[in-house]
Amino acid sequence: MNRIRLLPEQVANQIAAGEVIERPASVVKELVENSLDAQARRITVEIQSGGKSLVRVTDDGLGMSRDDALLCLERHATSKIRSAEDLNCIRTMGFRGEALPSIASVSRFTLSTREREGEQIEGTQIIINGGKIIEVKAFGGTAGTSIEVRQLFFNLPARRKFLRADETESAHIQHYLTLCALGFPRVGFTFLKDGRMVWQLHPVQNQEPMQALKERMQALQGGNEKLLPVKESFDFSRDEDEEAGELKIWGLIGAPGVSRGSREDQHLFVNGRPIENRALNFALIEGYHTALMKGRYPVCCLFLELSPGEVDVNVHPAKREVKFRHERFVSNALGNAVKKALLAFHTVPVTQTPSAPAKVELFIKHSVEPTTPPPPLALRGEIEITPPAQLAFVPPPVEQPQERPAPLPTPQTPSRDEGPVPLLRVPLRILGVVGKLYVVMESDRGLVLLDQHAAHERVLYEQMLRRLEQNGDVPSQRLLLPETLELSPKDADFLNTQLTALSRLGVGLSEFGERTFILDSLPLFVKCPDARRFVVELIDELRAAGQAVNSMRLGENVVAKTVCRHAVKANDTLRPEEIEGLLHELRHCQMPYTCPHGRPTLIEMNFRDLEKKFGRTGMNPGV
């Protein structure tokens, strides 16, 4: 008995809609992508009830002839590819010829279009109801295309039930439109929600892509956050593939310390298409390294441009995900581009020689006496810093702290430059310390707070890594009385894998029986009355980090990070010279604005912020 039959066209379209059209935002996405492919300069999106009752997308693009308008509603009808080979080099947003017939099969659909350039003066309007053509008539509107989608899923009640509250659906739409607006600054976008204007973004005239992006971001978000430019190119042919050409990465990323609790403000584009990709997400976090707190996400708008043959966009029904031919190369490149931009933020190339490296006292009051003569540099926890040869820093002049702080500069004088002039490049004057932890300072921009513990952790961390790079060990001090520790089998196993790294970092632990270890030295800066607790905590922290990076053998930098947590504790009182020293050291760090765990070391409140808080905005500052 034959049981197989071909499905009617209408059913096939509804099935396709099931994959491509998930919710009103998918309709918006498909329609806006079509407008972009049709070279629209202005696109207007109107929605009602979260797009459930209406989505209307109007553009001033190329428009369609009557024949094309009828054809575009057929499945697999597209003007964008011709052959299977074309799939290997897609330069348009669409290519499957599926969206319009799918959407028309699950809604009340009206297409009105008129060619921008063409012989036909008259336009065409087609009305479709749940996939059935109701009417085709002449249309007298302006050039371009307008598509109206009413009552999405009206004929599929089961699907309609799955739609969320209006607000949720419109949030999805707005998120997608934000991506488009960022990806296409030279296109104007108007967004209307339930008859109310949400935004009107004019086409950006600036031809320089980075400037255009900045302008668009400013128009969209107000742009009061510190963003750094990224601009790199990588040559595939060097490591990978002769044919593959070049990978360009450019855009803007949040400065160290700027982050979010979700990936919401992390925007990645591949050849103009907003995408999601796990490897790239990971590479971004890697690039930020210690400039990002655990569990936080970067803020960025980054564009990857590469030969279309290097990306497969045909791997996801909504084309949200892409696959790279050389994924490792691309993600490494992204990580490096980000890292470079973050490092460049603090580094200024100069001609003059950097000022003599200062010795830092690590202000430790040791609870134990060194028993062996300490190595020359290790006296009292000093580690000498030599700025790396290729990077020269200009530490800005620092005023000497005074007994009584001079009066604050009058609010008229500060520069209101909101550009990302790194804080550690402007002179800072120390005013005092609050809570034995926060150093209060002023700059000509306003108030600055320094978390002395976070700063100290950063300084130590970079010193340790530098030491390790130079194949030295971190200076340590012998304990008067070595401690014996007995651990659980699990802890003991784990500790065994970390012993080498720990001993290079000054934590002298050795195996002394199956689950017993002897602790005989600690790094100079570790101040702990209870050595045993220090080790147990260390194991716990390292294990937690190990779970996150999914490896038992941790990198020395992870171990160093953890060891640094036990540096000078928050409530050690520092003398003014010690604070100066710390600040000086911080200026010599490569990534001074965050502690190794990504927490900020400095917080700035500029005069504008202060005026806002005191309700002085718009007032004559002297009042």
Q: Is 409 in the site for ligand ADP (CB under 6 A)?
A: no
Residues 49-68 that bind ligand ADP (CB under 6 A): 59, 61-64
Count of residues in contact with ligand ADP, rule CB under 6 A? 22
**Residue 94 C-beta: closest distance to Mg ion, Å:** 3
The mark string for 107-146 relative to ligand ADP (x by CB under 6 A, - otherwise) is --------------------------------------x-
**Residue 238 CB: number of other CB atoms within 10 A?**
9
Nearest CA among 138, 132, 174 for reference residue 32:
174
Say which residue the tokens 């700025």 belong to. Answer: 387
Say which residue the tokens 């490897």 belong to. Answer: 279
Answer with the entry of ligand ADP, Mg ion, none that 62 interacts with (C-beta below 5 to 8 A by kind): ligand ADP
For 620, residues 6+ apart whose C-beta sits below 8 A from its C-beta are none
**Residue 419 C-beta: closest distance to ligand ADP, Å:** 39
| Phi, psi values for residue 505, rounded to 5° | -90, 10
Among 79, 281, 496, 557, binds ligand ADP (CB under 6 A): 79
Contacting range for Mg ion; rule: CB under 5 A; set: 49-57, 99-107, 159-167, 173-181: 99-107
Q: Is 503 in the site for ligand ADP (CB under 6 A)?
A: no
For 102, residues 6+ apart whose C-beta sits below 8 A from its C-beta are 13, 14, 16, 17, 20, 21
For 356, residues 6+ apart whose C-beta sits below 8 A from its C-beta are none
Answer with the entry of Mg ion, ligand ADP, none that 38 interacts with (C-beta below 5 to 8 A by kind): ligand ADP
| Helix residue spans in 107-251 (DSSP H) | 157-161, 166-183, 209-221, 236-239
Among 55, 99, 455, 526, binds Mg ion (CB under 5 A): 99
Answer with the entry of ligand ADP, Mg ion, none that 146 interacts with (C-beta below 5 to 8 A by kind): none
- Which CB, 95 or 269, lies closer to ligand ADP? 95
| Phi, psi values for residue 274, rounded to 5° | -70, 130
For 359, residues 6+ apart whose C-beta sits below 8 A from its C-beta are 382, 384, 581
Q: Is 34 in the site for Mg ion (CB under 5 A)?
A: yes
Q: Is 78 in the site for ligand ADP (CB under 6 A)?
A: yes
Among 100, 149, 283, 304, binds ligand ADP (CB under 6 A): 100
**Residue 165 CB: number of other CB atoms within 10 A?**
11
- Which CB, 34 or 145, lies closer to Mg ion? 34
Which two tokens mark 447? 């108030």
Which string of b and e fits 317-330 if b means at least 16 CB within 10 Å?
A: bebeebebbbbebb
**Residue 115 C-beta: closest distance to ligand ADP, Å:** 9
Q: Integer distance in angstroms from the first to the last C-alpha of the chain?
A: 94
Q: Which helix (H) or strand (E) holds 179?
A: helix 166-183
**Residue 35 C-beta: closest distance to ligand ADP, Å:** 5
DSSP letter (8 states) at residue 275: -
Among 26, 35, 105, 521, binds ligand ADP (CB under 6 A): 35
Q: Is 257 in the site for ligand ADP (CB under 6 A)?
A: no
**Interface contacts to ligand ADP, rule CB under 6 A:** 30, 34-35, 38, 59, 61-64, 72, 77-80, 94-100, 145
